Each structure stands twice: as C-alpha cells, then as structure tokens.
Amino acid sequence: MIQARAHLDLMVGEDATADLAEWAEMRAAEFGAEAEPAVMARLCVEEAVTNIVRHGCSGDPDGHTICAEISRDDMSLQLTIIDDCRPFDPTTVPEHDGETTILAASIGGRGIRLMRRLSQQIIYERRDGRNRLTIIILLN
C-alpha cells in the first residue's frame, strides 16, 4: 500500500538533473526512508536524467519536459521518470565489461550499471510517445 507520493514537472535544461536528484532525495527522506536508500534514489535519478538530457534530447533540450514521481510503500521507494524525448530503453543496454586496469577503462557507460546495482528493479515502457522509466529501491 502506497504510504506517500509526490510529483514534479520540469522543463529539460542544465539544472534539471541537479534539481530532480535533490528533489528525489529530499522526498525520500520526508517519506521516512533512511539515508542510504534516499541517496540511492538521488543517484539513480541523477543518472537517468543525465541520460535524458545528454542522449534523449539529442543535444537540444529546449521544449522537452521531464515528469518525476516518487512513492513509498512498506518495502520500497518507486521512482518514475517520464520524458518526451526520443525512445531509449536502458534495460536493453548490455552490462559494461569490467576493465582490469585504469588504462583499459573507457569514459562513460557507467550510469546504467550504477542504477542496476543500486536498485531492485528497473522497468521501461514507451507509452503515448513518452519514455517511462520506473526504478524500485528497497528500503531494507
């Protein structure tokens, strides 16, 4: 049973990532989540919105919107991020190969991996011309 829910709409822009990440962490804390899942919520939202701004909007964020929802039940936080940018399903991105040395490492490609590690489940849906990404983070 949902115990708390909040919603925020923003225009995509330079501040959208930081604003939504901070908002998610603050709402999680207000909903009674401990510090660790609240920070996990912040990091997951930050990574998801960064991908939307950098890749989904094709470098032209003007006129695009992001809607964020957060809710809490007895066992988890549910974060849903909805955008009107081009389709992108992060659940289909293959696992990033682990490099054995720092010299072999490439830049980028770590955000989705981080989201997978921090969350219990990631669900993607394309509905009515919009991306809908739901991230579930366990409270315990």
Comparing 123 with 88, the larger pLDDT belongs to: 123
Among candidate residues 8, 66, 3, 1, the one with its CA nearest the CA of residue 30: 3
> Which tens digits make up the pLDDT trace of 66-102?
999 999 999 999 999 999 998 989 999 887 666 556 5
Global pTM exceeds 0.95? no
Beta bridge partners of 132: 82, 125
pLDDT of residue 15: 83
| Domain definitions of the chain by residue range | 4-138
Alpha helices in 7-119 (DSSP H): 16-30, 35-51, 111-118
Alpha-carbon distance 140 to 128, whole Å? 34
CATH of range 4-138; options 3.40.50.2300, 3.40.50.1220, 3.30.300.30, 3.30.565.10: 3.30.565.10
Q: How far apart are the first and last CA of the chain?
A: 17
pLDDT tens for 13-70 read 768 889 999 999 999 999 999 999 999 999 999 999 988 888 777 766 677 889 999 9
Determine the average pLDDT of the residues in 118-137. Answer: 96
**Size of the chain, expressed as the number of residues it contains:** 140
